[in-house]
Amino acid sequence: MLVGVSIAFILLMKPFFGPIFWAVAIALIFHPVQQILLHRLGDRPNINALITLCVCMVIVVIPVLVLGGALIAEGMGIYQKIQNGEIRPGEYIDQVNNSFPAIQAFLAQFDVNFSELRDRAVSAFLGGSQFLAKQALGIGQNTFQFFLGLALMVYLAFFLIRDGSKLVDLLIQALPLGDERERLLFAKFAEVTRATVKGNLLIAIIQGALGGIIFWILGITGALLWGVVMAIVSLLPAVGAAIVWVPVAVYLAAVGDFVPAIVLTAYGVVVIGLADNILRPILVGRDTKLPDYLVLLSTLGGIAMFGINGFVMGPLVAALFMAFWGIFIREFGHVTHDEPQPPAPDHGRGD
């Protein structure tokens, strides 16, 4: 009955999974702020939680809403220009091919048809712009649902910030794994969540901002949109933001704008590229850093399972998987010695 009721409760909460997840993430990330207020203002749970939530709103929620509104407006503008024929992706690719015929010759060595590759690239670009326009239209049509989810997230975050420690103690009492192991698991969950959400998102925002700034300086159309796109793809290893700025640099060189092309290339390699290598070990930490292939697979799997939230939830699940199995191996794994020792039946482990 306990398992059945628990499954029924999880299914009941499924429509609100996104707001619940982000409320938990906010409570974990801003928990240090709440602790600082606790030491300075004393034990005032409601006031401390309210101030912490206001800090979160000012630092995170309001800027994201403003940026999202500007992104939707700019994305819709670019989509309209594509529909009106003002932006022609196929012509841009043909311009690059005419300026650098060696590209087509190089691809021919690997039996890659340039025309077919061009058509696929144009279809992908058109499909991406159409998807963005649909998402913007969907948000506009479901404004009430969007703000309902936002309000629910903020409401839950307040109580999780205020009563988070009590909820953890309650879960420790309920779970039958042993209090010490449970506290270790919860501490690891909090550590991995903070590192994954705060670190990866912050790095993505920084790389997207750096890319958007250089696009704006060079006068490239849709700098804000491309900055957000670079922030999103920077979550993917191997490709990252380079999948956006490299084609733009090649096109600038193809049309004869060699100075902007050189500036963009140098900026992309030195500034945008090194930002990940320098900041990730600091913000994420080496213990919670996942292999690149696991980040790629978990990100794509997270998007397929959780939608847009999967950019964060996928790597988070993978990081927790690795962390919890590491704890399990340390707790219950047997160390191999050169001379195996017989087990001592009187000193077995187990609670």
Domain ranges, ordered by start, for the chain: 16-174, 180-329
User: Which amino acid would we find at residue 138?
Assistant: G
Angle between helices 17-29 and 179-193 (to 10 degrees): 100
Q: Whats the size of the chain, residue-wise?
A: 351
Mind listing the pLDDT tens digit for each residue in 83-108?
776 667 667 677 776 776 666 666 66
pLDDT of residue 289: 65
pLDDT of residue 312: 76
Torsion of CA 211, 217, 221, 226, to 10 degrees: 10
Asked if the model's pLDDT at residue 160 lies above 80, the reply is yes
Q: Which residues contact 63 (CB under 8 A, 6 or more apart)?
A: none
Q: What is the pTM of this model?
A: 0.68
Number of H helices, E strands in the chain: 17, 0
Chain mean pLDDT for the chain: 77
Asked if the model's pLDDT at residue 266 lies above 80, the reply is yes
Query: How many CB atoms neighbour CB 336 within 10 A?
Result: 6
pLDDT of residue 8: 93
Look at the block and give the residue holding tokens 């306990």.
2
